[in-house]
Amino acid sequence: MSQRAHLTLKYYNLVREKTHRPSESLEVEAGSTWMEVIEGLCHKYGPDFRLLVMPQPGRLNPQLRVFSGGRILLDDQLGESATEGAELSFFSAISGG
């Protein structure tokens, strides 16, 4: 039996508009990378979500901030494994003036 990791995902601003929900729980294979988690979300929520979050393969949108454990998740950290109980928060930039 494979082990699973339980994650909490939180969506803010434009990302929430694409998911139509403020948050969700997600269960993934233990050892899944952040890249695999985000790719799964892109598949689940479709091309508009992908364009907002990861418009180029392996690169987060520079207009977006993804936080994990209180730190910003950068492109070179997408290969790190998601840990049990981790929270991933997606914030899109807001412009105005």
Residue 95 has pLDDT above 60, yes or no: yes
Q: Taking a C-beta distance cutoff of 8 angstroms, is the pair 33, 78 a contact?
A: yes
Domain for residue 13, yes or no? Answer: yes
β-bridge pairing 23-29 and 64-68? unpaired
Domain for residue 97, yes or no? Answer: no
User: What average pLDDT does this structure show over 69-86?
Assistant: 93
Please give the tally of structural domains in the chain: 1
**Residue 15, H or E segment:** helix 13-19
Kindly report the CATH number assigned to the domain that includes residue 48: 3.10.20.30
Domain for residue 20, yes or no? Answer: yes
Query: Side-chain half-sphere of 53: how many Cα atoms within 13 Å?
Result: 32
Report d(CA 74, CA 96) in Å as an integer: 25
Q: Tens digits of per-residue pLDDT, 12-53?
A: 999 999 999 999 999 999 999 999 999 999 999 999 999 999
Q: For residue 1, what pLDDT band results from cuts at 50, 70 and 90?
A: low
